[in-house]
Amino acid sequence: METLSIAEGAFLRPYTQSDAPALTAVVAANREHLARWLPWAAAYGHVDSIDYIARKEAQIEADDGFEGAIVLDGRIVGAAGFHRVDWINRTTSIGYWLAAEAQGRGLMSATVRALLDHAFGNWDLHRVIIEVVVDNARSRAIPERLGFSEEGTLREAKLIRGGYEDAVLYAMLASEWPAPREATGSE
């Protein structure tokens, strides 16, 4: 998987094992912010980063998607990518998170846009989905801003903070996505 340009000074790239300390640090610095929506963040440590990066390297090797580091001005500020790819049905799902200090400048919208360009352009996929906890307004704004269709609510689909919460399922079809465009980061 190649590095994807997101915006001026920002890109999405595959992880390397040398990223483990920086990944651990950004999660630790944003633990409270991330753990609200991502249960793994509550107890995430250095060994978790090493294991996660190894799984992401194996994922790329197996041609089963890609999850990488969002890098802004030389620092890891988040992650995004394809959980796995169903090559038979030509579908995938996208997940993402961003450090609190990197929010509010259109970085995640630009990241997901680059991922969609890759999915529908390079991989010739048919469908991409995003699942978001109902109450996570910032995360829901991404697929809504990019023109995804809200297909329904998945009842008690996500175990968050010790209880099950509903999630909204969004989908984008290749026929609905415009031609790939240059990253501007203007949103």
Question: What count of Cα atoms within 13 Å lies in the side-chain half-sphere of residue 68?
Answer: 24
User: Quick one: tokens of 81?
Assistant: 């990518």
- Domain extent listing, the chain: 4-176
| Residue 102 and residue 111 in contact, taking contact as beta carbons nearer than 8 Å | no
pLDDT tens readout for residues 45-93: 999 999 999 999 999 999 999 999 999 999 999 999 999 999 999 999 9
Q: Which CATH class is domain 4-176?
A: alpha beta
Give the position of tokens 């415009």: 178
* Segment among 135-144, 160-169, 173-182 with least mean pLDDT: 173-182
Give the pLDDT confidence score for residue 179 in this predicted structure: 62
Residue 105: helix, strand or coil by DSSP?
coil
Give the pLDDT confidence score for residue 2 in this predicted structure: 79
Give the pLDDT confidence score for residue 129 in this predicted structure: 98
Intra-chain end-to-end CA distance of the chain, in Å? 25
| Residue 98 and residue 154 in contact, taking contact as beta carbons nearer than 8 Å | no
The larger pLDDT score, comparing residue 29 to residue 184, is at 29
pLDDT category at 186 given cuts 50, 70, 90 is: very low
Q: Is the pLDDT of residue 181 over 80?
A: no
**pTM (2 decimals)?**
0.90
Give the distance, in angstroms, between the CA of residue 71 and the centroid of all CA atoms in the same chain: 13
Q: What percent of the chain has pLDDT over 90?
A: 82
Q: Is the pLDDT of residue 128 over 80?
A: yes
Residue 75: helix, strand or coil by DSSP?
strand
| Residue 99 and residue 25 in contact, taking contact as beta carbons nearer than 8 Å | no
Read off φ and ψ for residue 3, nearest 5 degrees. Answer: -70, 135
Q: Is the pLDDT of residue 182 over 70?
A: no
